[in-house]
Every structure is written in C-alpha cells, then in structure tokens.
Structure 1
Amino acid sequence: MPTPHNTPVPEGPVVLDRREGPHGEVVLRRHGGLLQIIANGCFLMDTSDGRSERRLVDAALDALDDRPAPTVLIGGLGVGFSLAHAARNPRWKRIVVVEREQAVIDWHRDGPLSELSAEALADPRTEIVAADLVAYVHESEEAYDALCLDIDNGPGWTVTDDNEGLYSPAGLAACRERLTPGGVLAVWSAQPSPRFEQTLRNAGFQGVRTEEVPVARGVPDVVHLATRAE
C-alpha cells in the first residue's frame, strides 16, 4: 500500500564515510540524530547515551581514592564519550587515548564526531596515539594510574580475533605492567563475565569486582574493575 502523503517516511541510516583499514571495514553512519560506528558489519556504538562509557572513567578514578594528579590511558576512542568526560575533570593530569583505526581519529579531528570531542582534543592534557592497543600494552614502557579499556563489546565478544589476546593471561599481565602500583584496570563490557573476573584474579590483580551500569533498554552494561598490588 502506498504511504499517504501526510505520513512521514522513517529516515534510514545514511553512510557518512566508509573505510577499509588493516582490520577490515569501518563505517560511520548517521541515523536520525545519532552517529553510529560499524566495524566489519558489527554495530559497535552510537551517540545515544554514553553513561556506561562515562562511568568507566569515573569508576577508575573513584578506585584511585585521593591519589593526586593521576594519569589515564583510554583504550579506544569510539564516539568520544570517555575522552570528553575525562577531559571535563581537572583531576586527571594526563589523558592518553590509543586508537588503531585512523578513520575514527579522522572523524574526531575534522569530521562529524568532532562535535563531541573537539574541546577534549584541544585540551593540552590529551594525547592521541594511533596504535593497536594489544600491541601497545605489550610494547610500551609507560605506566599509568588507570587503564580504561573499551575496544570490544566485552571480553567474550571481540570486534576482531586479534583483540582476544588482550583478555588472555598474557594480555592482562601486560596491562598490569602498564599500571603504577595500586593502579586500576577498568574494562567495559556489554554483559558480566564471571570467567573474566577469575582470569583477572589469576593474572595477579586484587580487588576484582564488577559494577553494573543501567541502560535505557536491555541488560545493564558493566565495568570490570581490578587493582594492581602496591
């Protein structure tokens, strides 16, 4: 049946950019008022909410108690919620973001996602590192007070097979080495994982716990938290 002239036609997603990178295809879409990132056909995130991404940063900072001028490594730029939120807090001394997709970096620097991150990117505390996070935690010699990681839909639901190594005993050992004594590892996930909690304990982390973050629809997101021993 034809659509009546006075009935609005729902607006479908519009592709703003499509890139073929070393890890496959990444797409930026606009769907109504939302911006969406799709990787290899898998929906990653959009600009609809962001409360769990913001909580990822806050939970790590809370776990550091009153540590003065802490530094944070954010794994995954995404749509910029975590970076923008961290930059709004003057307590962070340094904010380093590791992102492997040059397209995502470009979308923030001079593309549609700049509306969310322009102020944070202009902050002198912010540094963007174009690198694969898994390789970075193994190869870097820098240590941070907090690692806030959000590059997958969770430890058991990775965007690419390469990312599985981040949640392995060797990957978590490398994360532990990137933390200062008493530093905090925070990992975003779309669902809880008791198995991952045990893997964190086996990797030598202390204070392992999972915090639920309510979302508008569906099961809560979670933040896995763990501390490197003093």
Structure 2
Amino acid sequence: MPTAYDIPEVLDRREGPYGEVVLRRHGDLLQIIANGCFLMDTSDGRSERRLVDAALAALDERPGPRLLIGGLGVGFSLAHAAANSRWGRITVVEREPAVIDWHRRGPLSGLSRAALSDPRTEIVEADLVAFVNETSATYDALCLDIDNGPGWTVTEDNGGLYEPAGLAGCARLLRPGGVLAVWSAEPSPEFEETLRNAGFRHVRTEEIPVARGVPDVVHLGVRPG
C-alpha cells in the first residue's frame, strides 16, 4: 500500500496557453507536468548546468557574452548561468505564465531567487519559436531546453525549431562565432547532420551520464564567423 510519501502532492494546477501545467511535490522533489507528460524535476540538474557550461566553453574569449536560454523549467540553467560572472546579459524565454509565477512567487523561487534578482537577468514570456522568428536582438549563445530532444518535442509546433528553417532562425540571432547548444534526452546523429547542413561548424555531441538509462546529451554547433 503506497504511503503519503509515495503519492505526489499537487501544489498548483493551471490551464495555460498550451494546455494544463501542474506543479507537484514528490518527497523532496518538485516536478513540472504538462498535459499529463512529465517534463522535469529538481532531482539533479547536472545536464542543465552542462548545457550552459558547454556553450560558454565553445565561445571565444569575447567579453560579457550574451546568453539566450530557451525554457525556464525548474531554473537550473538560469541559476547556473547567473552564478558565472563571465556571462553578460542573460535572457530566458518561457511560454508558460505559471512556470514564471512559480519562480517569482511560488515553490520554485528557492532555486532561482538569486538569479532573478541579478541585474543581468531578463525573463521574457513568449513562445520560443515565435521569439526566434521575430526578435531583432542578437546573442552569443543560445541554449535550448524546451523539449526532451529534437525528436521528442513537448508540442508539435516545436518540431520546426530543429528543422533547417528553424535552425536558420537560430543562426540569424547568433552573432558570428556564436554557439547553439541543444539539450536532448538521447543522442541524435540525424540532428547532428541537420546542424551541419544548416551551416553550423564544429558540430559535436557531449554526453552527460545519468543515474539510469542512456546518457543525456548536449548537441553543439557554431555559427561561422
């Protein structure tokens, strides 16, 4: 018979612009669920931190590089970026108002409070696909963590971001020599080839070991100078 510890406690449930989003507590963990699909929790964060570090390591030594993070999630990527003084402006695009609110006033604030109060940080409530297509801003690094990978998207509309036209949009907002880093729950040689065909250089994949199953990965590509 399950104990109270085994049963997740729903902390908040909201109808967002793309369906239902739920924040729940399971033991010591906070979890985000979208339309019944588990997205992420606060159990680790090593792959989200590696996403940011790999992008920075792939950049040249330009001062104060501007970072765009696609997806706020539980805040690991933002918090890690804000803890590094090398980054200049840090912009996070998140399409779910509930997720932003959980960070500003809710249970996730403990993970992101310092980052949100950092003067370098900007939170933009928008769909990342639309933002990429419409913004006139440019960045030195773009870290994408809005899906479970190029072949496993949270919503169907996100799929276009990993196709040639979507990657061309990503390249457009990157400055010469800028880096695209894409988190994925599994390796994708097909996506590596798509990155190369889209004009990115130095394409490679870094593996991040996880407790169980295949490693998470970060796909990396550099816009030509």
Report the TM-score range of the alignment, normalised by the length of the smaller protein: over 0.9
1:1-230 correspondence runs (5 A) = 10-230=5-225
Amino acid across the alignment from 1:207: H
Deviations 1:9-41 (A, max 9, x none): 543100011111111111101000000000111
Distance across 2 between alignment mates of 1:79 and 1:220: 20
- The residue identity in structure 2 corresponding to 1:48 is S
Q: Give 5+ residue unaligned stretches, structure 1.
A: none
TM-score by length of 2: 0.98
Deviation at 1:131, TM superposition (A): 0.3
1:108 is paired with a residue whose SS is helix
Q: Which TM-score applies when normalising by structure 1?
A: 0.96
Moved more, 161-170 or 81-90: 161-170
Calculate percent identity across the aligned residue pairs.
78
Looking at structure 2, the residues matched to 137 and 8 of structure 1 have their Cα atoms a distance apart, in angstroms, of 45
Superposed CA RMSD in Å reads 1.2
Separation in structure 1 between the aligned mates of residue 194 and residue 19 of structure 2, nearest angstrom: 29
Deviation larger for 7-16 or 101-110: 7-16
Q: Given that residues 94 and 128 in structure 2 are in contact (C-alpha distance below 8 angstroms), is that contact kept between their aligned partners in structure 1? A: yes
| Paired letter, 2:22 | V
Q: Is the 8 A contact 2:5 2:26 kept in 1?
A: no
1:216 maps to a residue whose letter is A
Mark the structure with the bigger radius of gyration: 1
Distance in 1, matches of 2:212 and 2:60, equals 32
Aligned residues, how many? Answer: 225
